[in-house]
Structure 1
Amino acid sequence: MNDIPYLLRGVSKLSTESSTLISSSKYLNDPRLRMWIAEIVLKQNGPDMPAQAEMYPVIALLDELQDKARIEELFTAERAKNPALDAWFEEGFVSDYDADYFKAFGAGTLGRIFYDEVIAKNFEIVIYEKPPPKSQLDYFLLRSGQTHDLEHIMTGGDFSYMGELVPAWFRITNHFKHLSAELAGELSTSYMFVTLRYTVRTLLHYPEVWTICQDAVERGMRCGRASGPLFMAKYEDVFHLSLEDARVALGVECATFADTSAASAVWAARPQR
């Protein structure tokens, strides 16, 4: 026993008749995901693969790997003990605004900020043109897609690479505050993969912007921990309010803004070494 290094004590070598790699993790068992993880966290940035395109393949992979029936069970159990969540699903509200909708809002309102920061800068409004959701998860994901850019504004994340960390870590932390751990984990998986690109890759290749990256993570966590369940927000009710008043109305606390555009520009460039 004394001949075994301390950190290796307790390791048990298991055998299997499988001729291919297999583990107790469905994520590790998927060779496509293993390849994506290795590439996405270890690579440097380059113009051949914009960061925003990197998530496209993994979203489809996660869709395959997640146990949809189990997630529906978790949502149903959560609704039984959470009247607000149950009412949210019962209403099933879906936004139908377009770019012109925001032109009427006055200066300083949430609606005008959204227009100036998203629409006027030619970002797409993420409204999914798809049939009515067929499951609770479908509806949750639909609303998450519709409100993502608004969550940037509400939580203090600017529209740059490092700014993506703020709403992502807000979501992860907020999910775990307001939902059961297993359900929160299922709903946070994609956000975790989003953040891997920015955290691990930044530390490996862009240490000069690490403190900006870390601050964005901390701001998102702090806001997510202090705030109400923003994933259930109905923004149409607060577009006419100032940003601060909209935050109060929707229960958003401890949101702080930081301009990370300079650090994000450094991060997006290929390291010269």
Structure 2
Amino acid sequence: MDDIPYLLRGVTPVTTESSVLISSSKYLNHPRMRDWMSTITLKRNGSDRPAQAEMYEVVGILNEIQDLDHIEDLFTEERKHNPTLDDWFNQGFQSSYGADDFSDFNEGTLGHIFYRDVIAKNFDLIIYEQPQPKTQYDYFRFRSGQTHDLEHIMTGGDFNYMGELVPAWARITSHFKHFSPELAGELSVLSMFVTLRYTVRTMLHYPQVWPVCQNAVERGMRVGRESGPFFMARYEDVFDLPLEDARAKLGYVGAEYVDTTEPSALWAERT
């Protein structure tokens, strides 16, 4: 024992007759996930593979890995003692607005800001196409896709790479505040993987951007800790309100906007 380095004590050699890589982790066992993870955390940025394409890839990978039936069971159990969530599912509300619905809102209102920052800049209102939801998890993801850009505005996250960290970490923190840890974990996997691109890659290749990256994570966490379950918000009720009033009505607390345009361009190697 004295000959074994302290940090290696307790390591048990594992043997297997398997001819392929095998682990107790379903994520590590998935070949595409291993390749995706190593690539998106270790690579530098380049115009040949935009960051948004990396997100599209991981959505499909996670659909193969996550136990969707188990997530359904977790939602069903959560609804038994979470009446707000149960009511949200029972209503099943879906947004039906289009780009033309936002051009007449008064300056300073949420509707005007959404038009200015999303529609006028030709961002798609739908991040990626999803079929009409058939399950609870389908619906949760469907609404998350519909409200993501609005969560940028409400949490103070700019519409660029560093700005993506704010709503993502607000989401993760909020899930663990309002759901059981197991359900929160399943619902936060995508956000966690998506944000790894910005945190790990920044530390490895763009350390001059790290203070901005860290601040964005901290701002998102603050909103998640201090706010209500904003992921169930219905924004149609507040489009005509000034931004701060809209935040107050929907239970957003602690939001702070920071312009991250220049550090995001540096991170993307566009300067």
Short-chain TM bin? over 0.9
Partner letter of residue 140 of structure 2?
F
Residues 196-242 of structure 1: CA distance to partner in whole angstroms, max 9, x if unpaired?
10000000000111100000000001111111001100000111111
Structure 1 residue ranges, 4+ long, deviating more than 2 angstroms after superposition: 127-132
Gaps of 5+ in 1: none
Tell me the equivalent position of 1:175: 175
Tell me the equivalent position of 2:164: 164
Tell me the equivalent position of 1:54: 54
Tell me the equivalent position of 1:212: 212
2:268, 2:129 → 1: CA distance? 31
Gaps of 5+ in 2: none
Q: Taking structure 1 as reference, are residues 159 and 270 closer, same or farther at Cα in structure 2, changes over 3 Å only? A: closer
TM-score, normalising length from structure 2?
A: 0.97
**Within 5 Å, which residues of 2 pair with 1:50-129?**
50-126=50-126
- Please give the secondary structure, in 2, of the residue aligned with 1:104: coil
1:155, 1:80 → 2: CA distance? 29
Tell me the equivalent position of 2:5: 5
- Please give the secondary structure, in 1, of the residue aligned with 2:256: coil
Q: Taking structure 1 as reference, are residues 127 and 42 closer, same or farther at Cα in structure 2, changes over 3 Å only? A: closer
1:269, 1:132 → 2: CA distance? 38
2:251, 2:230 → 1: CA distance? 7
Percent identity between the aligned chains?
68
Preserved CA contact (<8 Å) 1:36 1:58? yes
2:157, 2:252 → 1: CA distance? 13
Partner letter of residue 162 of structure 1?
M
Preserved CA contact (<8 Å) 1:175 1:187? yes
Partner letter of residue 94 of structure 1?
Q
| RMSD between superposed Cα atoms in Å | 1.3
Q: Taking structure 1 as reference, are residues 131 and 204 closer, same or farther at Cα in structure 2, changes over 3 Å only? A: closer
2:77, 2:46 → 1: CA distance? 45
Preserved CA contact (<8 Å) 1:155 1:223? yes
2:96, 2:164 → 1: CA distance? 24
Q: Taking structure 1 as reference, are residues 45 and 75 closer, same or farther at Cα in structure 2, changes over 3 Å only? A: same
